């Protein structure tokens, strides 16, 4: 294959891709006139100097070398590692424009699926810095640099970015990346630690250290000393998820509280929780308002996890039934319901991607439905779910493409109306789109 010509070229950015990169086309005098070029770091309307980084049959990829005519929407990134680290690709774009772009992406997905919301919900926004309370940090010992790198991967995902700090992560972790690097550097097993996961509750932040060989007493003592100095709970993970166990303290307690509903959720460090705690509470209030539960009504909450929606809903509904495929999450959801004195909230374990006809909660006469599936969406579930008698459905989604597909099914195949839909900025400065839609019978 011929080498890529990396001579900088000038380009005017015609638009933006869904991943945030600028789009231009090769000029008429170019051998591949009209070919699309995706340029990382460029914004619509800008004139930039770019360098090609990849050649494909239908498009090329490039990165900005210099911005010649900046967009009025361009802002100075807060993070010194922007452009290298792959975690936040939109820090150079004004926050309000980021949200507008996500709303356009949602509308585009609906359009491609042949469906449209009757109204647009105002975007839901919250904390945009220090918001990320859960994540996985890659760890790699680099002998050429004589240090261990702890952080997210670089933009091309091949290497771990050399980070000193991260402004998206909760400060207790994001401002201690160098301390974590020095910690791992001092361990005998430093080359056998591929990742560290973090999970922050209201009062305690847990670090889960994945290690591929047993840790000696010296390494364990160093981890405990680090935890005590910086206020962390340390867990060790020598194998699969079922091997995670606390090192110090021996019985840590991770939890967060929803003050508006007087609800506390206790969780384990590798449990799924919404990444942005501030926006999560706003999202719950938003979803409950859209669901509009009336006294005496029964609500079905599918993909309920720890009870993120179920328990707040329990303060309004006569009964809430939550269903989740992860038995561990269901066990903790039940414990959370008992801890909060909520006898009207019940949980079941079920694989929601399989035949559910024998499940006791199927067709049990619910008034409202809330669902919050993973990226794959919920089409198979919706195809077998009895919708008769339901007054409203609220669908929370982390993937606008599958939300659009499922919305088209509800509208075109089941005769429902999509009353409204909108985006929620759960992951500021990234291209991730969280959205919500409300449906009613036609």
Q: Return the residue matching tokens 């922050």.
A: 200
In a domain, 91, yes or no: no
The domain tally of the chain equals: 3
pLDDT digits (tens, 9 = 90+) for 27-60: 988 988 999 999 999 999 999 999 999 999 899 9
Q: Is 178 helix (H, G, I), strand (E, B) or coil?
A: helix
pLDDT higher than threshold 90 for residue 233:
yes
pLDDT digits (tens, 9 = 90+) for 142-189: 999 889 999 999 987 779 999 999 999 999 999 999 999 999 999 999
Distance CA 243, CA 222 (A): 21
Specify whether the backbone of 292 is left (phi greater than 0), alpha (psi in -120 to 50) or beta.
left
Average pLDDT over residues 314-329: 98
What is the CB neighbour count within 10 angstroms for residue 295? 7
In a domain, 39, yes or no: yes
Take residue 436 and report the two structure tokens written for it.
């919500």
DSSP labels for 302-354?
ES-TTTTTHHHHTTTSSEEEEEES-HHHHHHHHHHHHHTT-TTEEEEE--TTS
Q: Are residues 70 and 175 in the same domain?
A: no
Distance CA 435, CA 120 (A): 11
308 is in an annotated binding site: yes
88 is in an annotated binding site: yes
Q: Are residues 40 and 149 in the same domain?
A: no
The set of residues, in sequence order, having a beta carbon less than 8 Å from that of 366 and lying 6+ positions away, is: 298, 299, 300, 321, 389, 390
Q: Are residues 53 and 196 in the same domain?
A: no
Take residue 252 and report the two structure tokens written for it.
């840590």
What's the DSSP call for residue 169?
B
pLDDT higher than threshold 60 for residue 243:
yes
Contact indicator for 438, 286 with CB cutoff of 8 Å: no
Q: Are residues 276 and 312 in the same domain?
A: yes
85 is in an annotated binding site: yes
Q: Tell me, what CATH number does 234's domain have? A: 2.40.50.1070
Q: Are residues 70 and 106 in the same domain?
A: no
The set of residues, in sequence order, having a beta carbon less than 8 Å from that of 80 and lying 6+ positions away, is: 164, 165
Average pLDDT over residues 372-388: 96
Last residue of a domain, one of 252, 280, 313: 252
Q: Are residues 189 and 269 in the same domain?
A: no
Q: Is 304 a catalytic residue?
A: no
Q: Give the pLDDT of residue 100.
A: 96
Q: Is 348 exposed, middle or buried (0-12, 13-18, 19+ CB in 10 A)?
A: middle
Last residue of a domain, one of 188, 217, 252: 252
Domain span at residue 266 reads 100-127+255-441
The set of residues, in sequence order, having a beta carbon less than 8 Å from that of 294 and lying 6+ positions away, is: 367
Q: Tell me, what CATH number does 424's domain have? A: 3.40.50.150
Q: Are residues 287 and 345 in the same domain?
A: yes
In a domain, 47, yes or no: yes
Q: Tell me, what CATH number does 54's domain have? A: 2.40.50.140
In a domain, 84, yes or no: no
pTM: 0.94
Q: Catalytic: which of 56, 109, 304, 398?
A: 398
Average pLDDT over residues 4-8: 87
56 is in an annotated binding site: no
Q: Give the pLDDT of residue 364.
A: 77
Distance CA 279, CA 283 (A): 6
219 is in an annotated binding site: no
- Rounded to the nearest integer, the mean pLDDT of the chain is 96
Query: Could you give the C-alpha distances from 199 to 80, 234, 267, 351, in angstroms and in order?
Result: 24, 11, 10, 26
């Amino acid at each position: 294959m011929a080498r890529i010509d990396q001579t900088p070229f000038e380009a005017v950015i015609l638009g933006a891709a869904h991943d945030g990169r600028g789009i231009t086309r090769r000029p008429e005098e170019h051998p591949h006139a009209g070919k699309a070029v995706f340029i990382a770091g460029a914004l619509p309307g800008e004139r930039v100097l770019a360098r090609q980084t990849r050649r494909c049959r239908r498009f090329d990829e490039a990165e900005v070398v210099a911005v010649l005519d900046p967009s009025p929407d361009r802002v100075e990134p807060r993070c010194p590692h922007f452009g290298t680290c792959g975690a936040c690709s939109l820090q150079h774009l004004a926050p309000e424009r980021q949200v507008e772009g996500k709303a356009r992406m949602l509308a585009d997905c609906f359009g491609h699926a042949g469906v449209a919301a009757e109204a647009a919900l105002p975007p839901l926004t919250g904390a945009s810095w220090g918001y990320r309370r859960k994540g996985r940090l890659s760890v790699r010992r680099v002998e050429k640099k004589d240090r261990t790198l702890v952080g997210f991967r670089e933009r091309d995902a091949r290497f771990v970015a050399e980070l000193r700090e991260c402004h998206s992560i909760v400060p207790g972790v994001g401002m201690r990346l160098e301390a974590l690097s020095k910690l791992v550097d001092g361990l005998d097993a430093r080359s056998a630690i591929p990742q560290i996961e973090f999970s922050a509750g209201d009062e305690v932040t847990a670090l889960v250290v994945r290690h591929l060989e047993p840790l000696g007493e010296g390494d364990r003592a160093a981890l405990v000393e680090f935890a005590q100095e910086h206020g962390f709970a340390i867990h060790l993970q020598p194998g699969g998820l079922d091997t995670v166990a606390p090192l110090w303290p021996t019985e840590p307690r991770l939890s967060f509280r929803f003050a508006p509903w007087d609800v506390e959720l206790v969780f384990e460090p590798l449990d799924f929780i919404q990444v942005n705690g501030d926006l999560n509470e706003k999202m719950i209030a938003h979803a409950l308002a859209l669901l509009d539960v009336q006294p005496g009504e029964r609500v079905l909450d599918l993909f309920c996890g720890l009870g993120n929606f179920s328990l707040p809903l329990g303060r309004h509904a006569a009964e809430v039934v939550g269903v989740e495929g992860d038995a561990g999450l269901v066990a903790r959801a039940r414990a959370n319901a008992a801890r909060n004195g909520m006898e009207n909230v019940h949980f079941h374990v079920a694989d929601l991607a399989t035949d559910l006809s024998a499940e006791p909660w199927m067709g049990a006469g619910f008034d409202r439905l809330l669902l919050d599936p993973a990226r794959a969406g919920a089409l198979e579930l919706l195809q077998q779910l009895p919708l008769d008698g339901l007054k409203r459905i609220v669908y929370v989604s982390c993937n606008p493409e599958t939300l659009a597909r499922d919305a088209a099914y509800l509208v075109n195949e089941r005769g429902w109306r999509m009353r409204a839909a909108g985006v929620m900025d759960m992951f500021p400065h990234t291209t991730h789109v969280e959205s919500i839609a409300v449906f009613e019978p036609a």
